[in-house]
């Protein structure tokens, strides 16, 4: 099961970076190079989840160092929080676009299913991860930095044309979703097996 999830997430990560290809190129040509890191939101979330799965597939023998535990905790927190947030965000944007008249194509339906899967797997796998609230807050800080850069530097994921006049509401929703994601994650941490 873990290997299947690893393969699906790794393939989804590659597909996601390809899907963002034009926006990545545009950002490199029109923005400071360092901002490109903040462009592909969902694929970066699935990349973190793919890395987190490696910790489960290859448990470290012996007593891990504090540096290893810290790195693993931050990667796992980023995996859970970004998977949940960007899973919900993408589905919401597709639905909002459709509600305003954007014609849905087969890729939209595929993205809805895959992003709902991202959100769900993040919450389901919290119970097998070691990160705590401190790492979750660090992940929140990363997401809020990403949110601020997205809407101050115009590097947010390209939206359907019908949503372009809703950017203020989308920005506020995105920031609110980051905070909600931390709250949901903290709730799931209370119910996991340690």
pLDDT tier, 193 (very low <50, low <70, confident <90, very high otherwise) = low
Query: What is the value of pTM for the model shown?
Result: 0.94
pLDDT score of 25 more than 60: yes
**58 SS3 class:** coil
Strands (DSSP E) found in 133-192: none
3-state secondary structure of 97: helix
Q: For residue 87, give the nearest of 110, 124, 108, 114 by alpha carbon.
A: 114
Give the whole-angstrom CA distance, residue 122 versus residue 117.
8
CB 89 within 8 A of CB 177: yes
Q: Find out whether 87 and 122 touch, Cβ atoms under 8 Å.
A: yes
Residue 194 has pLDDT above 80, yes or no: no
């Amino acid at each position: 099961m873990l290997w299947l999830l690893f393969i699906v997430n790794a393939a989804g990560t590659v597909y996601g970076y390809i899907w963002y290809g034009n926006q990545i190129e545009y950002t490199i040509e029109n923005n400071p190079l360092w901002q490109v890191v903040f462009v592909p939101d969902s694929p970066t979330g699935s990349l973190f989840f793919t890395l987190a799965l490696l910790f489960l597939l290859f448990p470290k023998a012996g007593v891990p160092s504090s540096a290893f535990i810290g790195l693993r905790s931050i990667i796992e927190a980023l995996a859970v929080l970004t998977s949940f947030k960007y899973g919900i965000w993408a589905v919401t944007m597709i639905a909002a676009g459709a509600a305003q008249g954007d014609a849905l194509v087969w890729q939209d339906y595929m993205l809805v299913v895959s992003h709902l899967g991202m959100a769900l797997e993040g919450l389901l796998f919290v119970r097998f991860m070691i990160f705590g609230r401190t790492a979750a807050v660090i992940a929140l800080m990363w997401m809020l930095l990403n949110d601020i850069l997205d809407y101050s530097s115009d590097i947010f994921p390209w939206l359907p044309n019908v949503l372009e006049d809703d950017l203020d509401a989308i920005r506020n929703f995105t920031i609110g979703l980051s905070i909600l994601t931390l709250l949901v994650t903290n709730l799931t941490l209370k119910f996991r097996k340690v």
